[in-house]
Amino acid sequence: MKKEKGTKEEITEQKTEINTAAQETGSKKLNPKTYDKELAKLHGELVKLQQWVIHKGLKVCIVFEGRDGAGKGGTIKAITERVSPRVFRVVALPTPSEREKSQMYAQRYIPHFPAAGEVVIFDRSWYNRAGVERVMGFCAEQQCKRFLEVVPAFERMMKESGIILLKFWLEVSPEEQTRRLTARIDDPRKIWKLSPMDIKSYDMWNDYTRARDDMFNATDTPWAPWHVARSNDKKRARLNIITHILNAIEYKEIKGEKIVLPKRKIDKIAPGKEYPFKFIPEIY
């Protein structure tokens, strides 16, 4: 990551209170004002990265994995809320159809890979086979083992084709996961997040732990390593992950002429000539 003097230090050397606490399990939650201030800085850098990706025709693929309630969705929202959805595309595939189940496993993911000038973010990815599908019995054990054998070569091919691949695992404690899932039950804004699969998976913590470790052992490669983020404090996790992305992709700020709005003339509409707009009720 290359920037003007002073900016890089602000990004790579987070404030002491952020850096220190992020290394400690159960540390004090990040102050909302500090979070908003740091996130605003990072959003500015993500916009610079976006322009660089377009300018250089980069192809970036970011994978997010983790247990239910680990904070993947909130992290992806924090990354994408200030950039263009035409550049930063989020892919969250539904349950495969009967036709997709008959295809080569990776076939449903490949069409979503980035073209030049795109950043594609997978909210869960082909690693479903090593996690949910394996633990819940949606694939045979031999299918999962074969997947773990071939995926390193698959990701090497991605890299050799010019794709920048970043894989993140959000690590949450069982206590924090319970708190988050429980909070969804009575909150009308969050109840949609609590799926039947979440309920079935809840008592399979140890099975998911073993599946995670097998996945890491097989696919944590030099060309496509796993990056783990502590996510008990969701705000810290978001800042740390965005910072990591910015540091992982070398970019520069593209400076152009300052935009100046042109002068314009607006004609006044004669009384009685206005269009009869159907305004909505102004309740607030």
What pLDDT digit, counting tens, does each position of 210-268 carry?
999 999 999 999 999 999 999 999 999 999 999 999 999 999 999 888 899 999 999 98
- Whole-number pLDDT of residue 2: 47
Over 60: is that where the pLDDT of 284 sits? Answer: yes
Lowest-confidence pick of 2-16, 116-130, 151-165: 2-16
d(CA 148, CA 129): 9
The full set of domain ranges for the chain reads 7-248
More confident residue, 14 or 67: 67
pLDDT per residue as tens digits for the range 78-128: 999 999 999 999 999 999 999 999 999 999 999 999 999 999 999 999 999
pTM of the full predicted structure?
0.87
Q: For the domain covering 7-248, report its CATH number.
A: 3.40.50.300
SS3 state at 234:
helix
- Whole-number pLDDT of residue 271: 84
Over 70: is that where the pLDDT of 12 sits? Answer: no
- Whole-number pLDDT of residue 274: 87
- Whole-number pLDDT of residue 32: 93
pLDDT per residue as tens digits for the range 20-47: 444 444 457 889 999 999 999 999 999 9
CA 212 to chain centre: 19
Q: Which two tokens stand for residue 24?
A: 């400690």
Location of structure tokens 């500090």: 34
- Whole-number pLDDT of residue 272: 84
Tell me the pLDDT band of 16, cut-offs 50, 70 and 90: very low
d(CA 238, CA 46): 13
Cα angle 56, 61, 65; round to 5 = 155
Over 90: is that where the pLDDT of 18 sits? Answer: no
Side-chain half-sphere CA neighbours of 167 within 13 A: 21
Over 80: is that where the pLDDT of 14 sits? Answer: no
- Whole-number pLDDT of residue 197: 85
CA-to-CA dists, residue 195 to 98, 184, 191, 232, 263, angstroms: 21, 10, 8, 21, 53
